Amino acid sequence: MEPLTWTGSLSFLNILFQGALVLLMLMVVVQILVSFFATVGARAVNPDGSLSASSGVSGFVGMIVNGLFWITLGLLLVYLAGGFMMGTNAGIIGAVSRQMLPVWLALVVTFILSITYKRKLGLYGKLFDSTVGMIGFAIVMFWVFTGIFGGVFDILVTHDSLSQMSGMKNKLPGTPLARAGEEEFQWFLLGGDNLARDVFSRLIKGSWVVVQIAPLATLFAFMVGITLGLPAGYYGGRLDTFLSFLANLILAFPVILLFYLLVTPEIVQTGIPNYMAVFLFVFPLVFVTILLNSRYYTQPSFRTPLLFVVLGVLGWLYLSLVSTNGAIVDAPTYRIPGLPAVIDLFDIDPGILVVFVSVVFVNSPTVFRIVRGLAMDIKTRDYVAAAQTRGEGPWYIMLWEILPNARGPLIVDFCLRIGYTTILLGTLGFFGLGLESESPDWGSTINAGRRLLSLYPHAAIAPALALLSLVLGLNLLADGLREESLRD
């Protein structure tokens, strides 16, 4: 069986794509140079208050860059669409495109529904008025769907991510398997690594590791930061001084050093990360309790059963999170029992739990400072004074007056912080900390492939590009959200 080339029968498009890409990069450089020398003139204001496009040389170059960008993107879509229809006849790109069919369908359905009902979806709907935001959202959701379909349903991977195939060590992308079975996929689409494992399958499985940890860890960090930052900014005084001191104390440590200390085996064996999980994971419970109690305080007949049901479910999830194999802490010298296995909903891998707790602990102080600053600013607004005049309680004002009006900056920071967390996860995996050595996470895969980077770059470049694209998508998504939130 012949090896696959990158584009197969679509190779006639290569010269067009390469030419458009080179011209695009050249024109971007020209645009940057023109911006240094172009004179700043008055720009006309449109009836809706927006500024009109730049005129002169700068505007002309901008039009060319914009046109080349869409031409390049269009050719890329032609590769993907043609590859999907032709399969392996369109080379590696075609085979990958067809393999990712569930992801393409999920993206199309998501965009159709979102654009159709965007006027009813608030800030999320307004995101689809921003080109940058839509591109970022598409990239992020591509990896989210890839992680779900590849990690949960296992329908995207072509081979077991941990299996070693005879004769496939360090093989180049598109190499066919020497003795593939009839029901087995015939190629290593992105080549083999130094242990003869399929790079494509490990890339797909690694996306699920990121999708699991980064958003949830960031969400927990926001729960901690919001729960502590709101009262610190609203009340001020000694409470603010004490909490700010603790936050600054944590932020004084270099992030990588702090991560290294938290995930080292010696620290893990003491049970410290498990104690941290018990403390940090309780903040969502506290947040939801205060949120519902402050909202329905005047309706005790409805509030009490609602809190009973919600806290019962969340408490069960909390105990399942902190319990692993029937124990909260299972140190070499002692054991603290947790939920019995019969009612324990799930067990989190100890390595993932340590990384998860470390990410929450490191990100929480920064979120605290952002929320504190926003609360100190917003509490001086007239609508807060009006709520105080109505006799509303402090927590009602913080959660139902201040927090909703701080959502724009917090949503933008949430997207950016997921990107930072993704980079941190890659860094930890690269240094072999936290997760198991055979984990398919992108950082570990990059570290395994860097040793032979000069000879076989594919094993390290594929996960590196995946990491780059996800962080880029999150940054573009944050820019789009920021742009739309400023229009509110």
* pLDDT, tens digit, 9 for 90 and up, residues 56-75: 677 788 889 889 988 998 99
* pLDDT, tens digit, 9 for 90 and up, residues 218-239: 999 999 999 999 999 999 999 9
* Residue 215 resides in a domain: yes
* Residue 48 resides in a domain: no
3-state helix, strand, coil in the chain (%, to 5): 70, 5, 25
Claim to verify: residue 336 and residue 214 sit in the same structural domain: yes
* pLDDT, tens digit, 9 for 90 and up, residues 444-476: 888 888 888 888 888 999 999 999 999 999 999
Please give the residue that has the higher pLDDT: either 41 or 57.
Answer: 57
285: pLDDT confidence band, cut at 50, 70 and 90? very high
Give the total number of structural domains in the chain: 2
Claim to verify: residue 212 and residue 73 sit in the same structural domain: no
Claim to verify: residue 220 and residue 338 sit in the same structural domain: yes
Going 140 to 145 to 148 to 151, the CA torsion angle's sign is: negative
Claim to verify: residue 256 and residue 391 sit in the same structural domain: yes
* Residue 281 resides in a domain: yes
Please give the residue that has the higher pLDDT: either 370 or 428.
Answer: 370
143: pLDDT confidence band, cut at 50, 70 and 90? very high
* pLDDT, tens digit, 9 for 90 and up, residues 376-423: 999 999 999 999 999 889 999 999 999 999 988 898 899 999 998 888
Query: In this structure, what DSSP letter does residue 239 have?
Result: H
Considering 430, 446, 466, which residue would you say is the last residue of a domain? 430
* Residue 234 resides in a domain: yes
Checking if the pLDDT of 288 tops 90, the result is yes
244-252: which pairs have CB atoms within 8 A and are 24 or more residues apart?
244/369, 244/372, 246/365, 247/364, 247/365, 247/368, 247/369, 248/365, 250/361, 250/362, 250/364, 250/365, 251/365, 251/366, 251/369
* Residue 149 resides in a domain: no
Scored b (16 or more CB within 10 A) or e, 137-160 reads bebbbbbbbbbbbbbeeeebbbbe
Domain that holds residue 422: 206-430
Claim to verify: residue 227 and residue 91 sit in the same structural domain: no
pLDDT of the residue at 437? 67
d(CA 240, CA 243): 5
Query: pTM for the complete prediction?
Result: 0.88
Among 218, 285, 256, 286, smallest CA distance to 431 is for: 256
- Do β-strands 327-330 and 187-188 pair in parallel, antiparallel, or remain unpaired? unpaired
pLDDT of the residue at 139? 94
* Residue 372 resides in a domain: yes
- Do β-strands 175-176 and 187-188 pair in parallel, antiparallel, or remain unpaired? antiparallel
pLDDT of the residue at 386? 92
Checking if the pLDDT of 487 tops 90, the result is no
Claim to verify: residue 265 and residue 405 sit in the same structural domain: yes
Please state, for a pLDDT cut of 70, what percent of the chain lies above it: 94
**Longest CA span, the chain:** 79
Among 302, 303, 283, 308, smallest CA distance to 293 is for: 303
46: pLDDT confidence band, cut at 50, 70 and 90? low
Among 64, 62, 22, smallest CA distance to 38 is for: 62
* Residue 256 resides in a domain: yes
Claim to verify: residue 94 and residue 211 sit in the same structural domain: no
Mean residue pLDDT of the chain comes to 87
As a whole number, mean pLDDT of residues 286-292 equals 94
The structure tokens 């692993």 sit at 324
Please give the residue that has the higher pLDDT: either 338 or 175.
Answer: 175
Checking if the pLDDT of 345 tops 90, the result is no
* Residue 345 resides in a domain: yes
310 CB-near residues (< 8 Å, 6+ apart): 288, 292
Please give the residue that has the higher pLDDT: either 483 or 106.
Answer: 106
Please give the residue that has the higher pLDDT: either 253 or 237.
Answer: 237
Please give the residue that has the higher pLDDT: either 140 or 450.
Answer: 140
What is the distance, to the nearest Å, from the Cα of residue 355 to the centroid of all Cα atoms in its chain? 15
